[in-house]
Amino acid sequence: MRPTIKDIAKQVGVSSNTVSKVMTGKGRVSEATRQRVLEAAAALGYSPNRSARALSRRALSIAAVYPVEPADFYSHIARGIAQQAAELVDYGCTVTTHTYPSIETPLALGQVLAGVLKDRPDGLILTCSHRFEECREVLEEFHAANIPIFYATIFGDMIPGVVGGVRTDTYSAGRIAAQFLGLTMRSRRAGAGEAEGAEGAEGAEGTDRVDADRSAPRRVALMVGEKHLLVYRECIDGFSAQAASSGIEVAAVSETFGREDMAYEAAAELFGGGADVDGIYVTSHNSVGVCQYLEDHGLAGQVSVIGHDLFPKLNQKLESGTLTATLFQSQGIQGYDAVRMAVESLESGAMARRPTIRLVAPRLVLPCMISAFPDYC
Point out which residues pair with 252 in neighbouring strands. Answer: 221
Residue 81: which of 271, 369, 270, 340 has the closest Cα?
A: 340
Indicate the class that CATH gives domain 170-328.
alpha beta
Mean per-residue pLDDT, 120-131: 93
pLDDT at 1: 63
pLDDT band at 367 (very low <50, low <70, confident <90, very high): very high
pLDDT in tens, 69-121: 999 999 999 999 999 999 888 778 899 999 999 988 999 999 999 999 999 99
User: Do the domains 170-328 and 5-48 match in fold?
Assistant: no
Where in the chain are the domains?
5-48, 56-168+331-362, 170-328
Give CATH superfamily name and number for 56-168+331-362: Response regulator (3.40.50.2300)
What is the average pLDDT value for the chain, to the nearest integer? Answer: 87
pLDDT at 202: 53
Q: Which residue has the higher pLDDT, 105 or 26?
A: 105
pLDDT in tens, 201-231: 555 555 444 444 556 789 999 999 999 999 9
pLDDT in tens, 133-171: 999 999 999 999 999 999 999 998 899 999 999 999 999
Q: How far apart are CA 216 and CA 158, in angstroms?
A: 43
Q: Is the pLDDT of residue 53 over 70?
A: no
Q: How far apart are CA 234 and CA 175, in angstroms?
A: 10
pLDDT at 261: 95
Indicate the class that CATH gives domain 5-48.
mainly alpha
Contact 93, 307 (CB under 8 A): no
pLDDT band at 189 (very low <50, low <70, confident <90, very high): low
pLDDT in tens, 250-300: 999 999 998 999 999 999 999 988 878 999 999 988 999 999 999 999 999
Q: Is the pLDDT of residue 26 over 80?
A: no
Q: How far apart are CA 100 and CA 82, in angstroms?
A: 17
* Three-state secondary structure readout of 171-234: HHHHHHHHHHHHHHCCCHHHHHHHHHHHCCCCHHHHHHHHHHHHHCCEEEEEEECCCCCHHHHH
pLDDT at 190: 55
